[in-house]
Structure 1
Amino acid sequence: MARKSSLRDFQAYLAGRLSEAAQGHGGASWLGLDVAGEGWLIDLSDGGEIVQAPQLAGVPLVHPWFSGIANVRGNLYAVTDFAAFLGAPPTPRNVNTRLLLIGVRHGSNAALLVSRMLGLKKPENFQPMAADEAFPVWGRQRFTDTDGKVWRKLAVRELLADRGFMNIGI
């Protein structure tokens, strides 16, 4: 029972931080994501809500990386398996799998299915690397942490403007 309480406390804390970031309060923070074993960072203000991955309704004639439609408290979200979109194997569905609602701030009901959340990250704990010009603009920015691990930073606005991301039909 204590574990559920701790998880609820963490989710409440994270929701508060997301709200503060969206309103421009508090220090800059990033949210760490595990996507097919790779570290990704997203600005907390772009993070939106994080929910346990719900049951998804399938959609015919779409790319394999488009997982389906999720109903989150009466709102429908287009769900992209971010790992599969990147060309990796599909995200395994387990207790750690999360849905990150990324598009709400930008007027889109888009969501990313990710392996797990890695918590809040402080930008001052990362060193910038040279941009990866071979990668799409929404994921070119790279950083290393104090352990030498390489992280990519997701530019949500640019991802939502990417024709390849928005064109789900085959």
Structure 2
Amino acid sequence: MASRGFIELLRSADLARARKGGRRGGQAFDWQGVVFEIGGQRLVAPMGQVSEVLSMPEYTSLPLVKSWMLGIANIRGRLLPLTDLADFLQVPSLVPQMSQRKVIVVEYNNVLSGLLVDQVLGIEQFTREQYRAEAIDYDSPFAPYNHGKFLKAEQEWYVFMPSLLAQDIQYADAAI
């Protein structure tokens, strides 16, 4: 049911872009996302939920927070809470050196957060026909934040929704 709503959002967004650009026909690509890996799992987050991608910035640690809350970074005058997504999801990071990992900056309902991931592979484009309303395995730590997948070039690209992570009470409560 929720997946149908997601497809409708894709259609509405395409229609809005078409009207804004003066087009009447379809568009070759309907959906774009930032592809990243964490714990060996390749995921794609919607472009509309990712503000930017950063190298690991300097940050200040915080006292009395859970281990996955790394601290706060000052990014162009804005305070960015940094979280280790692998630690939060309890999956092993395949890139042990934090300095080699990347930060995906997400903003949802005026809540800004930096998610430390193993690597960011770039931006991928998908068509409506490539979307499947099939969830990742139920026992996967990514399952609560998954919203279907795309099939492209015989690969599965599971959709990771940062907005679902931001709404998770366990994620919002970083205090010990």
> What is the TM-score normalised by the length of structure 1?
0.72
Q: What does residue 97 of structure 1 align with?
A: 101
TM-score by length of 2: 0.70
Q: Quick one: distance in 1 between partners of 2:51 and 2:71?
A: 19
- Would you say the 8 A contact 1:57–1:70 is kept in 2? yes
Contact (CA 8 Å) 1:30, 1:41: kept in 2 or not? yes
The structure that has the greater radius of gyration is 2
Q: What is the match of residue 77 of structure 2?
A: 74
Please give the root-mean-square deviation of Cα atoms over the aligned residues, in Å: 2.6
1:102-135 alpha-carbon deviations (Å, 9 max, x no partner): 02x5301211011111111122394526224456
- Which residue of 27, 30, 34 maps to 1:31? 34
CA–CA distance in structure 2, aligned partners of residues 61 and 34 of structure 1 = 29
The gaps in structure 1 that reach 5 residues or longer are 1-20
Report what 2:161 is aligned to: 155
1:71 Cα deviation after fit: 1.2
- Tell me the SS of whatever aligns to 1:56: coil
In the other structure, the counterpart of 1:137 is 144
The structure that is strand-richer by fraction is 2
Shift of residue 139, structure 1, vs aligned partner: 2.2
- Quick check: 1:36–1:115 contact (8 Å CA) kept in 2? yes
CA displacement at 1:57 relative to structure 2: 1.0
CA distance in 1, matches of 2:162, 2:130: 19
- Alignment of 1:146 with 2:153, yes or no, is yes
CA contact (8 A) 1:30 1:122 kept: yes
Q: Which runs of 5+ in 2 are unaligned?
A: 1-12, 19-29
Distance 2:85 2:96 in 1: 12
2:109 is matched with which residue?
Answer: 106
Q: Tell me what 1:169 maps to.
A: 175
